[in-house]
Structure 1
Amino acid sequence: MPDLSTLLMLVLMGAAFYFLLIRPQQKRAKKQQEMTNSLASGTRVMLSSGVFGTIRHLGERQAIIEIAPGIEMTVVKQAIVKTLTPEDDEFEYSDDQPAAADDEPLGSPFDSIEPSDFVDPKPSESRAADDDPTDQSSSHK
């Protein structure tokens, strides 16, 4: 017959394991599931990567998040870890900021490059012969 103190110690260790590890994890999972089920379009959220955004569309498994005006990305709903309150947002984005008109051409950073901006170095004759892998005349040791 096992010693009563050993059996009591095993029961206490099992209870401690349950109350310190399993039960808190179950509570966190339940809270996360409730938050995921309460999501709606227009809600400000934070993703597990730390990216803030606004939910634009919700599906069964995925959500489309607008991370900046006009910039959207698709994420799995499990990536949403927190719904934000107005106090959580440090910066505000508004849609009334002036944007480039559709008929205005957007400037390209390559528009101002001139051919003279590029230098075409000519290798010296001695270096060109050394660097030529097809040259069979030089002896290799």
Structure 2
Amino acid sequence: MGSDMWSTVLLFVLAGGVLYFLMIRPQQKRQKEQKDLMSSLEPGSRVMLISGILATVKYVGDKQAVVEISPGVEMTVDKRAISPQPVTDEFEYADDDAAAEEPAGPVVIPDDASSLTGPIASEPQAAPDAPVADPASDVAETTWDTPGSDDPGTDKN
């Protein structure tokens, strides 16, 4: 009976050791890496947030950081939202100033302004479904130009 008790105790000790090395120790290692990363953050560092957004660190506080996600757009995030995954940018953003400075082709300026204006409308046209008022009467009666219906408010479904 004494050897059964020692084997059971040994089994529990081995299970505890396996649990420690498979679950607890890797978690502590990740927490240490995250803490080291947070202490090494400085303005100008490129980081990835846990949502997948790439950003540049602008300011770092004790619990929060201000990051710039695009030029002029800043967000305040909790420092725990910064992913420990290293950031490798696939491309750098280039200003569009170089493309704006060089025109695509020669600019053609017309001799007169007639080619710049469209035809002048003589009278505004009413929409085909708009009510038409009788100008001869003092009270405007509404008539609808809807085919097949005399009064749109009395149609029964």
Normalising by structure 2, we get a TM-score of 0.59
CA distance in 2, matches of 1:33, 1:9: 35
SS for the counterpart of 2:80 is: helix
- Structure 2 residue aligned with 1:125: 153
- Residues 118-140 of structure 1 show CA distances to partners (whole Å, capped at 9, x for unaligned) of x98x882224x88xxxxxxxxxx
Aligned residues of 1:68 and 1:93 also touching (Cα < 8 A):
no
SS for the counterpart of 1:25 is: helix
Q: What amino acid is aligned across from residue 28 of structure 2 in structure 1?
A: Q
Q: RCO higher in 1 or 2 (8 Å CA, sep ≥ 6)? A: 1
Normalising by structure 1, we get a TM-score of 0.66
Aligned residues of 1:63 and 1:76 also touching (Cα < 8 A):
yes
* Residues matched between the structures, number: 107
* Structure holding more strand per residue: 1
Structure 1 runs of 4+ with >6 Å offset: none
| Superposed CA RMSD | 2.8
Choose from 13, 16, 19 the match for 1:17: 19
CA distance in 1, matches of 2:10, 2:73: 59
Structure 1 residue ranges without an equivalent (≥5): 99-115, 131-141
- Structure 2 residue aligned with 1:72: 74
C-alpha displacement of 1:82: 3.0
Aligned residues of 2:33 and 2:84 also touching (Cα < 8 A):
no
Percent of pairs with identical residues: 45
